[in-house]
Amino acid sequence: MRPIIICYSRTGRNKKLAQQLQQILRCDMEELIDRTDRSGWWNYLLAGRDSMFKKMTTIEPEIKNLESFDIIIISTPLWVGTIPPAIRTFLRRDKQKIKRLAVISVSMNGSQQRAIHDIENEYGNKPVAALFLSEKELKSGRHKTRFDDFVETLQALQKVKGDLQR
């Protein structure tokens, strides 16, 4: 399996988690940049509104040869319980190039119901693996068992892919 992590992080929490995952999986990682200014209190509120209303945005970079990866792992926060515009834009723009999708997320409360629904709608399929963590779980270290289980799921997918290629 050849994975890549696509990371979007406004505060850096999801980027830090993505980097930990990248070290374990020894895979590539690309960071999405939202060209809309999301800094500050007012822009924070507007970001939540844009997520609620399923707005698109301008993102960079365009990731070359995305179809050459067996699994795309998205690391993203949730805003107002759903995916931010940068991830929505990425999924709409590149879903035809994605073979399999996994999601890892750190957000205020770790709620996932609406986010999974939105990811399925944008991507067209259910993710093969998903881990949604709250900031509280991350800070306390209580996330480690669930994180390890997520990694094991990804590694099992890698093993299955390797066995099929033999």
pLDDT in the model for residue 139 = 87
pLDDT of 166 higher than 70? no
H-helix or E-strand containing 74? strand 71-75
pLDDT in the model for residue 56 = 95
pLDDT band of residue 111 (cuts 50, 70, 90) is: low
What is the C-alpha separation between 148 and 89, in angstroms, rounded? 29
Say which range, 38-47, 92-101, 104-113, has the weakest mean pLDDT. 104-113
The sign of the torsion formed by the CA atoms of 21, 23, 24, 28 equals: positive
pLDDT band of residue 158 (cuts 50, 70, 90) is: confident
Q: Please state the pTM of the whole predicted model.
A: 0.90
140, two tokens: 């306390």
* Secondary-structure class of domain 3-165 per CATH: alpha beta
**Alpha helix (H) ranges present in the chain?**
13-25, 40-52, 85-94, 113-123, 135-140, 144-165
pLDDT band of residue 165 (cuts 50, 70, 90) is: very low
pLDDT band of residue 161 (cuts 50, 70, 90) is: low
- Mean predicted confidence (pLDDT) in 134-144: 88
Instruction: Identify which has the larger pLDDT, 91 or 115.
Output: 91
Q: Is 103 helix (H, G, I), strand (E, B) or coil?
A: strand
pLDDT in the model for residue 103 = 97
Say which range, 37-41, 74-78, 110-114, has the weakest mean pLDDT. 110-114
> How do the domains of the chain map onto residue ranges?
3-165
